[in-house]
């Protein structure tokens, strides 16, 4: 298959969509480093989320919906880890940088996640959830139910059920 769907548009796998969001978020971090405004990271993240959910295969929407928070955290973790290496107190710089960047990026994170959820819902996320439930029901074995009767407890096991079995002949004592 050439990567095109029947409708003629390009479709991404979940990995491709996650890579698109990650690349756009890291590009936003780079733009922020050069130009300064922290809104560049958020705008790049939301744009990447929008493009990813629009281009991903419909059957892979469920995997993409849960990914944006993890991607945002991973990108922030990587950038702050690299940034804190040159500091006099790297651990303190890393902790403060993570807190600051995650706090400043929270509205963008929620906005991007909401955008992915709304667009995925319109593209058929509910059907993907139904299919997952049906697959899980079909794959799970029948679970035995406790017997009902006068007592609500299980019937006792036969006597000797848990006793250890001894194999071979007994040893002679010296």
Task: State pTM to two decimals.
Answer: 0.70
96-150 pLDDT per residue, tens: 999 998 999 999 999 999 999 999 999 999 998 898 888 888 876 665 555 555 5
Mean pLDDT throughout 70-96? 92
- 159 compared with 119, residue with greater pLDDT: 119
DSSP label of 56: B
Residue 27, pLDDT score: 93
Average pLDDT, the chain: 82
What are the extents of the domains in the chain? 14-138
Q: How far apart are CA 25 and CA 119, in angstroms?
A: 19
Buried b (16+ CB within 10 A) or exposed e, 94-111: beebbeebeeebeebbeb
């Amino acid at each position: 298959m050439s990567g095109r769907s029947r409708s003629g548009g390009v479709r991404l796998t979940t990995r491709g969509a996650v890579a698109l969001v990650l690349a756009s978020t890291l590009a936003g971090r780079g733009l922020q480093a050069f130009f300064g405004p922290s809104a560049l990271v958020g705008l790049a993240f939301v744009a990447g989320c929008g493009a990813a959910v629009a281009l991903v295969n419909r059957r892979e929407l469920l995997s993409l919906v849960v990914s944006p928070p993890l991607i945002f955290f991973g990108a922030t973790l990587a950038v702050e880890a690299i940034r804190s290496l040159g500091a006099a107190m790297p651990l303190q710089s890393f902790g403060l940088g993570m807190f600051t960047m995650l706090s400043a990026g929270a509205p963008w994170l929620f906005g991007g996640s909401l955008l992915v959820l709304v667009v995925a819902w319109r593209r058929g996320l509910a059907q993907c959830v139904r299919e997952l439930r049906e697959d899980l029901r079909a794959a799970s074995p029948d679970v035995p139910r406790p017997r009902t009767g006068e007592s609500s407890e299980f019937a006792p096991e036969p006597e000797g059920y848990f006793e250890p079995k001894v194999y071979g002949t007994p040893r002679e004592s010296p």
